[in-house]
Chains A and B, each alone.
Chain A
């Protein structure tokens, strides 16, 4: 896991540059990188489409989609993703807003806490979970615990995205303006702050989708049949269907990343492409 950010907008006016010829080394490394990216995808796509020697089709995909285990595991992961997004936003948007508005000196502490999920890898979190179960024994028997843990996995990205979003607007002035016309705290938050940081929120939510749909470590160790656990299970028994699932999973990653990219395009902000996959 790691955290990262890179602005995904076109570089500023470089008209003069583009007229010069590209460097040979730049093209060489770019092509090599593209090959490294594409060859495994091409290979797994070929596997997933190979029905017989020299014959290709969507047979394995059809089998996967007909498998009731596929839909149940996929829907479980999707439900967990939506729950994780909801909890993350309800918890983090008011918190980050409040810190920016009222307690800016708390920001270094928040930064520190937001790094912690990197320091404590998912497998270690599972090891320590028995402590939480001692406090709330009921959590042990429900898949809800996964969504609660995924909020922690997504925390670094959610926090960073919202923090950057709030920094880009003048939280204080907006709040004072809203309150001077009689808006309450909650109205200010919902109708003034949220619309202004919606691209940061959407970016964080798409990344959460990518994280949760691929999460294997916690769900497999806690014995829940999420989508990634299902993919692993199929991989042990059906190689061709597993290849089809790898492609489906790759497309899901594209949906999430493409979402972030589009959000940045349509809102005009410098949204960040971020990395949060659980390996």
Chain B
């Protein structure tokens, strides 16, 4: 029944180019393909016009549903109440509650990217180089896929059930004599929100850092040991420099991941913690009075700028990483 066509180059496991390259969002340059020889120039010209027609639907679609919204919000960010050009909205971002919203968002994203990133790194390193049984790796990556995708509203509920005022872990700790809610902890505050974010941050780190760690060959460590290096020296001079670009790039990606989160903080803190996405949501829903509606556009524009910087860093670091490790 299967109409499988002859595939002359079905790759063997592990030889697929992408499999070892790691978490690159951007593929490297394609090696130039030899062009069909002996084609007439006229035919080539006509063919190239047809060629572009083939990608027209894709470009039309992304223009309409991605580019138009983006341009729209950027233009509106610089629009005054009467439609004229104005930098009032954007400059308002640098003061008062809006500035503090950015500060809180950046703080939360940085903390959870660092903590979740380190946690994920240790787990991934253990799984790759810790001599664990072979079945651990595929299991870990599937579980990480689930955990990293289990987010939003249900995740918030799961953490309220765990560390909320009547949560399972809270009652356990109470019985052990540790009343965390008397010591200023609440799941609806910064600490609780950070713990919740880490739930999807560390599995993401496991998934994106594993290929980099796989590139760290055991032979290099043995070679360093043979030359008399201590473990600390190996990490200082060999291991860390090798994985650093991949590590930083992945952390930056985790940062962007937390920064754009909306559903989880909205469900968990009901907007009490002043984060940029939640602010934008409140403006869109008309829950807060703002000087003019374009402020929401300006806030979103600020988010795009920050994430664009993060993603650009990620891409650059990833390219750097790809140079050293396979």
Contacts and interface: CB of A to CB of B under 8 A. Distances in A.
Interface residues of A, number: 130
A119 B304 contact: yes
B6 A228 contact: no
B46 interface: no
A8 B142 contact: yes
Nearest to A223: B285
Interface stretch (A60-68, A73-81, A245-253): A245-253
Contacts of A121: 259-260, 262, 277, 300, 303-304, 307
Contacts of B238: none
Interface string A231-262: 11001000000110110011001101110110
Interface in A162-189: 163-164, 167-170, 172-174, 177-178
A98 B58 CA distance: 11
Contact of B25 (A23, A126, A156): A156
A277 B68 contact: no
B126 A26 contact: yes
Given A112-B26, A277-B151, A246 B303 contact: no
B157 A4 contact: no
Given A36-B198, A106-B55, A210-B149, A129 B123 contact: no
A23 B128 CA distance: 11
Contacts of B122: 25, 29
A44 B300 contact: no
Contact of B55 (A99, A128, A245): A99
A217 B157 CA distance: 16
A55 interface: no
Contacts of B4: 195-196
Contacts of A129: 69, 72
Given A9-B13, A11-B137, A123-B300, A279 B200 contact: yes
Contacts of A164: 16, 18
Contacts of B297: 127-128
A119 B33 contact: no
A147 B311 CA distance: 26
A173 B6 CA distance: 10
Contact of B149 (A91, A170, A275): A275
Given A127-B300, A132-B64, A18 B133 contact: yes
Contacts of B239: none
B7 A26 contact: no
Interface residues of B, number: 122
Contact of B70 (A115, A128, A228): A128
Given A29-B122, A128-B297, A17 B131 contact: yes
B245 interface: no
Interface string A11-42: 11010011011110111111011001101111
A155 B67 CA distance: 13
A196 B2 CA distance: 11
Contact of B161 (A47, A119, A210): A47
Interface in B253-288: 253-254, 256-264, 266-267, 277, 280-281, 284-285
Contacts of A43: 158, 161-162, 167-169
A44 B162 contact: yes
A178 B5 contact: yes
Given A2-B204, A11-B137, A169 B10 contact: yes
A104 B141 contact: no
A39 B26 CA distance: 36
Nearest to A216: B263
A6 interface: yes
Interface of A: 1-12, 14, 17-18, 20-23, 25-30, 32-33, 36-37, 39-44, 46-47, 91-92, 94-95, 98-99, 102-108, 111-132, 135, 148-149, 151-152, 155-156, 160, 163-164, 167-170, 172-174, 177-178, 191-193, 195-196, 210, 214-217, 220-221, 228, 231-232, 235, 242-243, 245-246, 249-250, 253-254, 256-258, 260-261, 268-270, 273-279
Given A4-B208, A151-B61, A277-B150, 13 more contacts: A4-B148, A6-B211, A29-B123, A30-B127, A102-B54, A118-B256, A121-B262, A122-B262, A127-B280, A167-B27, A169-B9, A221-B281, A275-B207
Interface of B: 2-11, 13-14, 16-19, 23, 25-27, 29-30, 33, 51-52, 54-55, 57-58, 61-62, 64-66, 68-73, 76, 119-120, 122-123, 125-127, 129-138, 140-159, 161-162, 167-169, 198-200, 202-204, 206-208, 210-211, 253-254, 256-264, 266-267, 277, 280-281, 284-285, 296-297, 300-301, 303-304, 307-308, 311, 315
13 contacts: A2-B256, A6-B210, A8-B145, A10-B134, A40-B161, A91-B58, A108-B29, A123-B280, A132-B65, A164-B16, A167-B27, A174-B6, A221-B281
